[in-house]
Amino acid sequence: MGTPLQVGVGLIAAGGAVLIGQSLWEVWRAAQARARRPNSTTPHGNPPPKVAHAVLTPEETQYKRIIILGDIHGCPDELQSLLDKVQYRQGVDLLLSVGDLVNKGPDSEKVLKMAKELGMQAVRGNHDDAAVEAFRAWLSGRDMPKPAKHHWVPGLEESLAALLADLPFTLQLPAYNVILVHAGLVPGMPLEQQLWTDLEKMRDVMPAAETGLADEAAAALKAGAPVDSLPTGDFDWGAAEAALAEVAAAAAKDRAAGQRPASGSGSSGGGGAPAGSPHAGSAGQAAAAQQEAEPGLPPQLQLRGREQPSPLGRAWASVWPGPLHVFFGHDAKRRLQRHPAATGLDTGCVYGGQLTAAVLPPLDEQGRPLEQRLNLPPDAEAITLASSLPAYLVSVPSKEVHSDKFLKPEQQKRGQQQELAKLHTRQALAAHPHHAQHAQHAEQQSTAAAAAPKSAADKKQE
């Protein structure tokens, strides 16, 4: 035993360790609680919106032209140019947005005022959610997160803050078989089970069973390891895509049988139940119907969302099987993405690119498009939705570069390395024996991989 002084110091030190241990324990407990109930708050710690998954019923969309805006990011001038270019008429058109209305650009507050005045309906972007977090911090006298980015938040009119706080994560238009989400959806997972953080932030999907390996590959890549030394895993993407196609076909059949009334105009609800509160009610029914329609993938084929592109991952939209056609934003680096059942609208307005909108034709009671009411500019580009309905893409150029994030050499180099790592994975998987089970698929992939730097699946996506 030491002197009484030494013993006293020892006790104080031990007491401190217990306190530290206790607070670490509490942090861990809180993290565990969050992990168990992942959708209890928004990704930025805000209270959930009143409606997480909103629906515009066929009655609400009928005879309206639909305009879906890409990421605006506080650029009111480009927004006004695009509205002029598509000849937006309030009340005649429905104005929607894939989120990220604010931050990075010159005047976020003005964009919010325009959104309110124009009756825009948006889904929740990660920047919208972050701005709500900043507003709540400012309101309660706490330090705002990222104060430079949120310089426009203090003193924001409460109705504009409420507009942001109420944004849902998704917005469905059953008459078009269309859904809007800011970042993405994990294929093969029912809507209600999707993590809100994926809906706001994901860019890639990767095999859920290879999460550890993907972390390893990402860390090695970041540390400068040669691309061909990275682990690739042995995920059977061919089997996953075949399983997803089956899931999609079953969901499409269910929709055709149960959800489309005789008129053919579509319905958000199952079985024609009377809608009480139109939004909450039909959202619940749509989610329930989708849950039934999508049994999910077997565990070895399940996918997981990833915020940053992964060496073992793929752009989620390139794997999305439908039947819902997804309009999304968030992925400015990949710019316009055209896939059979997903369209990426973030064309980098704030980075000196373009602001892009998708225009969907008005539908009559039978769900037939009214092409004569489109009022499109001559440079509109036609695309086809998963439902076979036509849609059109319209863009305006940015007035200036408000952020040079993607022009920085280190960013560009990181992007190139990431692409090379993905290619390495594709080539390794194409040579893998499990492709023998999908003979045709394997043959296409290895031939393409040998002949050109891009595989057949890559080409299919473009």
Which range touches Mn ion (CB under 5 A), out of 92-100, 265-273, 274-282, 410-418?
Answer: 92-100
Which range touches Mn ion (CB under 5 A), out of 119-127, 221-229, 230-238, 387-395?
Answer: 119-127
- Which three-class secondary structure string do you get for 269-284? CCCCCCCCCHHHHHHH
Contacting Mn ion within 305-344 (CB under 5 A): 330
Whole-number minimum distance, CB 164 to Mn ion, in Å? 14
Upstream peptide bond of 147 is cis (omega within 30 degrees of 0): no
Tell me how far apart the alpha carbons of residues 52 and 280 are, in angstroms, rounded to a whole number: 9
Distant-in-sequence, close-in-space partners of 22: CB < 8 Å, separation ≥ 6: none
Whole-number minimum distance, CB 97 to Mn ion, in Å? 12
Which range touches Mn ion (CB under 5 A), out of 99-107, 153-161, 360-368, 410-418?
Answer: 99-107
Q: Which two tokens stand for residue 249?
A: 């076909």
Tell me the site size for Mn ion, rule CB under 5 A.
4
Measured from each CB, the residue nearest to Mn ion is 330
Whole-number minimum distance, CB 127 to Mn ion, in Å? 6
Q: Which of 126, 170, 177, 427 binds Mn ion (CB under 5 A)?
A: 126
For 452, phi then psi, to 5°, come to -145, 160
**Contact predicate 54/283, CB 8 Å:** yes
Whole-number minimum distance, CB 409 to Mn ion, in Å? 23
Whole-number minimum distance, CB 125 to Mn ion, in Å? 5
Q: Strand order of the sheet with strand 325-328?
A: 53-55, 170-173, 178-181, 325-328, 342-344, 337-339
Contacting Mn ion within 198-227 (CB under 5 A): none
Nearer to Mn ion by Cβ, of 82 and 101: the residue is: 101
Q: Where do we find the tokens 């429905």?
A: 94
Query: Taking phi first (over 0 means left), then psi (-120 to 50 degrees means alpha), and beta for anything else, what does residue 354 get?
Result: beta
Q: Which of 78, 100, 204, 236 binds Mn ion (CB under 5 A)?
A: 100
Nearer to Mn ion by Cβ, of 72 and 208: the residue is: 72
Whole-number minimum distance, CB 181 to Mn ion, in Å? 11
Which range touches Mn ion (CB under 5 A), out of 59-67, 121-129, 398-406, 418-426?
Answer: 121-129
Tell me how far apart the alpha carbons of residues 261 and 283 are, in angstroms, rounded to a whole number: 18
Name the site residues for Mn ion (rule: CB under 5 A).
100, 125-126, 330
